[in-house]
Structure 1
Amino acid sequence: MSTIAQEHVRGKSVFKDLSADDEDWQPTEMESLCMNCYQNGITRLLLTKIPFFKEVIVSSFSCDKCSWSNTEIQSAGRIQEQGVCYTLQVRSKQDLDREVVKMDSATTKIPELDFEIPPFTQKGSLSTVEGLLDRAVAGLEQDQAARRAADPEVAGKIEAFIQKLKKLKDVDKEFTVVIEDPSGNSFVENPVAPLKDEALTVSWFRRSIQQEKQLGLRADDEPEDEEPPGNDLDTMRSEVLVFNTNCPECNAPASTNMKLVQIPHFKEAIIMATNCDSCGHRTNEVKSGGATEEKGTKISLHINGPSDMTRDLLKSETCSVLIPELDFELGMAALCGKFTTLEGLLTDIKDLVVAKNPFVCGDSGDSDRMQKLKEFGEKIEKIIAGDMRVHIILDDPAGNSYLENVYAPEADPEMTVETYTRSFEQNEELGLNDMKTEDYLEDN
């Protein structure tokens, strides 16, 4: 394989947006060995950018000699800060058509069959739920002929299990598909976007040290109990700390600045900003500088006009955003922590749900769904312009989010702030439960 030119790596167009209009952007073809007949076949590589997933490498192999073919997808972007877990309740055959991006680092589970595909045992794929089942069946059937000859009893048990997997596609009864990816780069389609998907639960988690070693983020010989070096708190308050990183867009060398700041009438927060000189990409992220509060916080604001758009807003990574009038809910960690304005948050929501939705872009987008998302984007624009009166709710179980009170120190007549006791499940998501889940279930 030819090497990628250095000027391409440093911000040029090695990875392009996937588009049917760019006829000059063709896959790279090369001869490679067929692992089925050991003759030469053709591998095609396409380096592209799918919105929301950043850069990906799509590869396809085909052999004219034995007709064997294979496709896979690999993430060429950065590993996300947290792992992601998708839990899908498959209730109808329509759910089998949901598109799925499954990276090689993901674990796939079907609890009802006590079935699990461990990480790094399959290549990454862009498929559907039905495709995941077919791939699992194909993997089990691969060596059945040899098993029948060597151990008919084991082959019979596997055959019975294969039939159970195939039976799932009839959806005679509900079953669960869980995709847990410590890299955070897998994805399961929400066909009713921008509305909340009642059949799909998305949660984010901190990687274990073992998972970080599997992803190459830690050295294999690094002690399990070793903590990363900390920074002096007084230094963080008085100075801007600079770290060398890579740009999440073009992968060129960049720098991340970090500063601990005091937000008026609230608390300290850590603001991080990444600037890339090569492609001009800029990002900012905010994390709470304090501990998790004793109670969760729910902030509700009645938006009356454009003047509300200038309110300062701190959304932590644990905060959900709801707009009841649009029947819209954005779960925690769908957007990273941000210190912005209300207008900035609404713009980010529009970009995430509409512009960066990978399953409604290009020629493959469903026309009805694209129309719904277009209408949703237009409603967000009306809210920003002050032409639509709605409520926006920030629900943060960690209590680390904030919305500016423009009447401070007096009460804000358009805003309510409530505190509440977290549920067991919320404590579990925040990693605050000392008691094991099974003990809790026994007690309740």
Structure 2
Amino acid sequence: MSVIGEERVRGGVFREISAEDEETQPTEIQSLCMNCYEDGNTRLLLTKIPFFREIIISSFTCPHCHWTNTEIQSAGRIQEQGVSYNLKIKCKEDMNREVVKTDSATTRIPELDFEIPAFTQKGSLSTIEGLLDRAVAGLEQEQPIRRATDPEVANKIDQFIQRLKKLKVMEEEFTLIIDDPSGNSFIENPCAPQKDQALSVSYYKRTPEQNASLGINDAEPEPEDKPANDLDTMRNEVLVFNTNCPECNAPASTNMKLVQIPHFKEVIIMATNCDSCGHRTNEVKSGGATEELGTKITLHLTDSSDMSRDLLKSETCSVLIPEIEFELGMGALGGKFTTLEGLLKDIKELVVMKNPFICGDSSTTETAEKLEQFGKKIDQIIAGEMDVHIILDDPAGNSYLQNVYAPDPDPEMKIEKYTRTFEQNEDLGLNDMKTEDYGEVQS
């Protein structure tokens, strides 16, 4: 507490980087240089990427041997799911994309059969070009020793280094894959708020081996003699359990209740309120199983009164607005039970107000103007000044948009059921799920 300062704690330990905010200045501490074993200086900056999450940036400099080292660590908790980024790099502009890579992430370039395993590098905040420079520097580090002890291996590595350098100057297209089971890595989308055609993001459930590598113990199974939950009691009660605030990590409580949505199904609503920093969050999860068919809901907005329609967006639902070429992918914003106006305001806050690439050194005039225009279009949609369609595409079939004409059909809303593709089942983890023959007793 004495190092960070009482005022800084009151304003939040992790603050957005701002030239006008004196509290965002780094903290300097004296530490040992692992190169010459003299005293050096480490500078720590606790900040947050608004479009992402909190990070700790550290930079070490030794005044004696001039050795330097920088690294980044995620200050947030390990996410519920792992994340995999697949980026097709086609031009030099792609080399400037910013990348957050944690130490638990695996980096691959399939065209070179090249892989940087997890936990072999410290986390970094860099660009695609910076990742390649770091890989080249790592391979060149032991080359003098290899040339003396094993010239053949050294020659092969020299050839491989030349191939990496050719990728850096874009002599050929290549694919970059970052797979992080902790879910804390990130690749910039310069096309925001539009979908990035060159970048695909997928989320997955960690294996027991990945949980073990991250130091996570799998949940213990419930005792067999534990009585079953009484659903009638759960419907009438609000359950409270202890947790930690996702913003400041202080102890907080989460309220959970089972709610029946008319003309739909039961859902679980969870709300967290932090007394320390005032942060509030809510999340909705389906109370039932994954539906046999996916659901696509298309609403034609004809009046500003449509903004008051109740809406349930599950964590597997994508949101599309074709008229402004906008797509919000599966997993973004999480599950929400709100109104249509509330969803649009959350989209504007996520894409425009909390986007780190419109401020500081990462900003460009073109990107800032593009996002500003997008924010104005969202305001026009909320005010009923634009004729657009809102599409909720949920392959799990667990999303809902209120029909104000119920039980009669809504003339402005179209609900389509469709069969999921193999890739959608893969994203939902259904291809590897066994649901048959569990009741058979072996003789």
**TM value normalised by structure 1:** 0.92
Q: Aligned residue for 1:213?
A: 212
| Match for residue 247 of structure 1 among 245, 248, 263 | 245
For residues 115 and 381 of structure 1, do their structure 2 counterparts lie closer, same or farther at Cα, with a shift above 3 Å needed?
same
Q: Secondary structure at the match of 2:296?
A: strand
For residues 236 and 114 of structure 1, do their structure 2 counterparts lie closer, same or farther at Cα, with a shift above 3 Å needed?
farther
Structure 1 counterpart of 2:301, which letter?
Answer: I
Q: Aligned residue for 2:158?
A: 159
Q: Secondary structure at the match of 1:198?
A: coil
Assess if the C-alpha contact under 8 Å between 1:40 and 1:63 holds in 2. Answer: yes
Q: Unaligned 5+ residue runs, structure 2?
A: 434-443
Assess if the C-alpha contact under 8 Å between 1:237 and 1:261 holds in 2. Answer: yes
For residues 50 and 142 of structure 1, do their structure 2 counterparts lie closer, same or farther at Cα, with a shift above 3 Å needed?
same
- Post-superposition Cα deviations, 1:204-248, rounded to whole Å, max 9, x if no partner, equal 111222222222332xxx69xx54789725253343222211111
Q: Aligned residue for 1:390?
A: 388
Assess if the C-alpha contact under 8 Å between 2:17 and 2:24 holds in 1. Answer: no
Q: Secondary structure at the match of 2:358?
A: coil
Aligned length: 429
Assess if the C-alpha contact under 8 Å between 2:271 and 2:280 holds in 1. Answer: yes
Q: Aligned residue for 1:105?
A: 104
The alpha-carbon deviation at position 7 of structure 1 amounts to: 9.5
Structure 1 counterpart of 2:347, which letter?
Answer: I
The alpha-carbon deviation at position 120 of structure 1 amounts to: 1.7
Assess if the C-alpha contact under 8 Å between 2:40 and 2:61 holds in 1. Answer: yes
The alpha-carbon deviation at position 89 of structure 1 amounts to: 0.2
The alpha-carbon deviation at position 26 of structure 1 amounts to: 2.0
| Match for residue 397 of structure 2 among 396, 399, 402 | 399
**C-alpha distance in 1 between matches for 2:125 and 2:234:** 43
The alpha-carbon deviation at position 277 of structure 1 amounts to: 0.8
**C-alpha distance in 1 between matches for 2:367 and 2:393:** 27
| Match for residue 415 of structure 2 among 411, 414, 417 | 417
* Greater RCO, CA 8 A, separation 6+: 1
**C-alpha distance in 1 between matches for 2:58 and 2:108:** 25
- Post-superposition Cα deviations, 1:101-121, rounded to whole Å, max 9, x if no partner, equal 111121111111121111222
For residues 188 and 403 of structure 1, do their structure 2 counterparts lie closer, same or farther at Cα, with a shift above 3 Å needed?
same
Assess if the C-alpha contact under 8 Å between 2:166 and 2:172 holds in 1. Answer: no
Assess if the C-alpha contact under 8 Å between 1:12 and 1:250 holds in 2. Answer: no
Assess if the C-alpha contact under 8 Å between 2:294 and 2:394 holds in 1. Answer: yes
Q: Aligned residue for 1:442?
A: none
- Post-superposition Cα deviations, 1:302-326, rounded to whole Å, max 9, x if no partner, equal 0112200110111111111000000
For residues 49 and 305 of structure 1, do their structure 2 counterparts lie closer, same or farther at Cα, with a shift above 3 Å needed?
same
Structure 2 counterpart of 1:232, which letter?
Answer: N
Q: Secondary structure at the match of 1:71?
A: strand
Q: Aligned residue for 1:438?
A: none
Q: Aligned residue for 1:320?
A: 318
Assess if the C-alpha contact under 8 Å between 2:33 and 2:62 holds in 1. Answer: yes
Q: Secondary structure at the match of 2:356?
A: coil
Assess if the C-alpha contact under 8 Å between 2:24 and 2:47 holds in 1. Answer: no
More deviation, 183-192/127-136: 183-192
For residues 363 and 116 of structure 1, do their structure 2 counterparts lie closer, same or farther at Cα, with a shift above 3 Å needed?
closer
Assess if the C-alpha contact under 8 Å between 1:98 and 1:129 holds in 2. Answer: yes
Q: Percent identity?
A: 72
The alpha-carbon deviation at position 19 of structure 1 amounts to: 0.5
**C-alpha distance in 2 between matches for 1:145 and 1:238:** 72
1:255-334 equivalent positions in 2, closer than 5 A: 255-334=253-332
**C-alpha distance in 2 between matches for 1:233 and 1:170:** 63
**C-alpha distance in 2 between matches for 1:4 and 1:341:** 40
Assess if the C-alpha contact under 8 Å between 1:106 and 1:179 holds in 2. Answer: yes
1:60-99 equivalent positions in 2, closer than 5 A: 60-99=59-98
Assess if the C-alpha contact under 8 Å between 1:20 and 1:363 holds in 2. Answer: no
- Post-superposition Cα deviations, 1:7-46, rounded to whole Å, max 9, x if no partner, equal 976x653222210112354211122122222222211111
More deviation, 243-252/152-161: 152-161
| Match for residue 377 of structure 1 among 375, 378, 385 | 375
- Post-superposition Cα deviations, 1:102-147, rounded to whole Å, max 9, x if no partner, equal 1112111111112111122211111000111111111111111222
Structure 1 counterpart of 2:353, which letter?
Answer: A
| Match for residue 229 of structure 2 among 229, 232, 240 | 232
Assess if the C-alpha contact under 8 Å between 1:247 and 1:254 holds in 2. Answer: yes
More deviation, 300-309/36-45: 36-45
The alpha-carbon deviation at position 64 of structure 1 amounts to: 2.0
For residues 7 and 19 of structure 1, do their structure 2 counterparts lie closer, same or farther at Cα, with a shift above 3 Å needed?
closer
**C-alpha distance in 2 between matches for 1:50 and 1:177:** 22
Structure 1 counterpart of 2:390, which letter?
Answer: I
**C-alpha distance in 2 between matches for 1:202 and 1:419:** 25
Structure 2 counterpart of 1:52, which letter?
Answer: F
The alpha-carbon deviation at position 65 of structure 1 amounts to: 2.1
Structure 2 counterpart of 1:27, which letter?
Answer: P
Q: Aligned residue for 1:169?
A: 168
Q: Aligned residue for 1:143?
A: 142
The alpha-carbon deviation at position 93 of structure 1 amounts to: 1.1
For residues 396 and 66 of structure 1, do their structure 2 counterparts lie closer, same or farther at Cα, with a shift above 3 Å needed?
same
**C-alpha distance in 2 between matches for 1:242 and 1:318:** 25
Q: Unaligned 5+ residue runs, structure 1?
A: 436-444
Q: Secondary structure at the match of 1:17?
A: coil
Q: Aligned residue for 2:130?
A: 131
Q: Secondary structure at the match of 1:274?
A: strand
Q: Secondary structure at the match of 1:16?
A: coil
| Match for residue 348 of structure 2 among 338, 347, 350 | 350
The alpha-carbon deviation at position 276 of structure 1 amounts to: 0.4
Structure 2 counterpart of 1:49, which letter?
Answer: K
**C-alpha distance in 2 between matches for 1:338 and 1:311:** 13
- Post-superposition Cα deviations, 1:279-304, rounded to whole Å, max 9, x if no partner, equal 11110001111111111110000011
Q: Aligned residue for 1:51?
A: 50
Q: Aligned residue for 2:439?
A: none
Assess if the C-alpha contact under 8 Å between 2:8 and 2:23 holds in 1. Answer: no
